[in-house]
């Protein structure tokens, strides 16, 4: 029995197409297509309705989906048992993350305690990182948003203020800090919808009744930096992720009205496993102490209560 075929089957069912499933699994589209074809040929059952590139489950496919998920969960549980029965002097810890800053310091803290363990980091957007965690591709996940899902447990890791940064020739660049109201009517560069930075800054602006002029909506930190460097507007970023550049200067918002929080997630059913517990223990207090915007120490493992961020 090839669990890879069932993994491909589940990915196609969840993603809705071969290409999206291949991206989620990190393999080629022909590989996924071959696995699905083999599964259908050997079982002599049509598992998907095909409408162009879109693929939806048949009645038999829905029944197999339930069984396949149980099969992979059992496989993962078996693997976790074997790994957790050891002494953490060998094996692998798999981490999913949306950004490099905090996950790297977590890896450093864990490696110092468990130098014999291999660590791997799988980067992606929030949806991909959560998908990997819930499908046992990773052991823990590092995210910037709070997600209310009953199968997850979460620990708050660190909170950082959102700051502005402006081109060195911009009037704001000569200031140490500005009032939020001073952004009214100014060109503000925003990340894409769903960005936690954008959500936080927009919430603060709305609460204060401030309406900047949205100059551009840009889908990456790097592109925001280049746009600011070319004088196209003012950028906003978590202070933890700000990278100094001679072309622009950081400017704090008085009172730090907007902030982002980094959280560490694990599956609730695995929260007491040796592997996950060792990671959570190792990262306690590992958030960089020289950051003045670290407002909270890591909290005990809790169930998330806030709703999923838009």
For the segment 196-222, what is each residue's pLDDT rounded down to a tens digit?
Answer: 888 899 999 999 999 998 768 888 888
**Cβ(210)–Cβ(183) under 8 Å?**
yes
Other beta carbons less than 10 A from residue 87's beta carbon: 9
Q: Final residue of a domain: which of 46, 71, 96?
A: 71
Q: Final residue of a domain: which of 71, 99, 130?
A: 71
Mean pLDDT of all residues in 107-124:
92
Q: Considering the domain boundaries, does residue 88 fall inside one? A: no
pLDDT of residue 79: 75
**pLDDT exceeds cutoff 60 at 302:** no
DSSP state of 185: T
Mean pLDDT of all residues in 274-302:
61
Q: Considering the domain boundaries, does residue 264 fall inside one? A: no
pLDDT of residue 6: 92
Count: domains in the chain: 2
Q: Considering the domain boundaries, does residue 251 fall inside one? A: yes
Residue that wins the pLDDT comparison between 298 and 286: 286
Mean pLDDT of all residues in 121-127:
87
User: Which residue from 141, 127, 94 is spatially nearest to 262, judged by alpha carbons?
Assistant: 141
Mean pLDDT of all residues in 254-262:
92
**pLDDT exceeds cutoff 60 at 308:** no
pLDDT in tens, 72-86: 878 877 776 776 666
Q: Considering the domain boundaries, does residue 208 fall inside one? A: yes
**Cβ(151)–Cβ(267) under 8 Å?**
yes
pLDDT of residue 120: 94
What ranges make up the beta strands (E) of 74-229? 92-97, 118-123, 140-143, 152-167, 177-178, 187-190, 213-217
Q: Where are the alpha helices (DSSP H) in 99-173?
A: 100-113, 126-134
Q: How far is CA 136 from CA 16, 35, 185, 293, in A?
A: 20, 20, 47, 33
Q: Could you give phi then psi for residue 262, rounded to 5 degrees?
A: -100, 135
Q: Considering the domain boundaries, does residue 188 fall inside one? A: yes
Residue 27 belongs to a domain with what CATH number?
A: 1.10.10.10
Average pLDDT, the chain: 86
pLDDT in tens, 4-27: 899 999 999 999 999 999 998 889
Q: Considering the domain boundaries, does residue 195 fall inside one? A: yes
At residue 126 the predicted structure's pLDDT band, cuts being 50, 70 and 90, is confident
pLDDT of residue 288: 57
3-class DSSP state of 177: strand
Residue 187 belongs to a domain with what CATH number?
A: 3.40.190.290
Residue that wins the pLDDT comparison between 16 and 270: 16
pLDDT of residue 87: 65
- Taking phi first (over 0 means left), then psi (-120 to 50 degrees means alpha), and beta for anything else, what does residue 65 get? alpha
Owner of token pair 């074809």: 37
**Cβ(117)–Cβ(88) under 8 Å?**
yes
- The whole-angstrom separation of Cα 217 and Cα 223 is 10
pLDDT of residue 78: 78
- The whole-angstrom separation of Cα 259 and Cα 117 is 34
**pTM greater than the 0.75 cutoff:** no
pLDDT in tens, 164-194: 999 999 999 999 999 999 999 999 998 888 7
Q: How far is CA 232 from CA 44, 239, 248, 260, in A?
A: 59, 21, 12, 24
pLDDT of residue 85: 61
At residue 154 the predicted structure's pLDDT band, cuts being 50, 70 and 90, is very high
| Residue 48, H or E segment | strand 48-51
* Domain extent at residue 170: 159-259
Q: Final residue of a domain: which of 216, 241, 259?
A: 259
């Amino acid at each position: 029995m090839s669990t890879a075929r069932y993994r491909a089957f589940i990915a196609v069912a969840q993603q809705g197409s071969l290409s999206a499933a291949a991206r989620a699994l990190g393999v080629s589209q022909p590989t996924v297509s071959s696995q699905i074809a083999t599964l259908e040929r050997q079982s002599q059952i049509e598992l998907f309705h095909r409408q162009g590139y879109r693929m939806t489950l048949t009645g038999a496919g829905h029944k197999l989906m339930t069984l396949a998920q149980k099969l992979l969960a059992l496989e993962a549980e078996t693997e976790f048992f074997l790994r957790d029965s050891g002494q953490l002097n060998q094996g692998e810890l798999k981490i999913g993350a949306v950004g490099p800053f905090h996950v790297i310091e977590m890896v450093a803290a864990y490696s110092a305690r468990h130098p014999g363990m291999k660590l791997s980091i799988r980067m992606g957007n929030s949806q991909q990182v959560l998908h990997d965690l819930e499908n046992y591709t990773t052991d823990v996940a590092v995210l910037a948003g709070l997600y209310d899902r009953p199968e997850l447990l979460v620990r708050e890791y660190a909170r950082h203020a959102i700051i502005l940064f402006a081109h060195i020739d911009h009037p704001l660049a000569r200031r140490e800090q500005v009032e939020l109201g001073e952004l009214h009517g100014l060109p503000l560069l925003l990340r894409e919808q769903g960005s936690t930075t954008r959500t936080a800054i927009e919430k603060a602006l709305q609460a204060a009744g401030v309406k900047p002029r949205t100059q551009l909506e840009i889908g990456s930190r790097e592109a925001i930096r280049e746009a600011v460097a070319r004088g196209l507007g003012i950028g906003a970023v978590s202070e933890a992720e700000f990278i100094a550049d001679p072309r622009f200067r950081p400017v704090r918002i008085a009172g730090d009205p907007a902030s982002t929080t980094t959280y560490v997630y694990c599956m609730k059913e695995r929260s007491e496993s040796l592997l996950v517990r060792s990671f959570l223990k190792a990262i306690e207090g590992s958030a960089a102490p020289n950051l003045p915007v670290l407002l909270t120490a890591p909290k005990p493992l809790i169930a998330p209560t806030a709703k999923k961020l838009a």
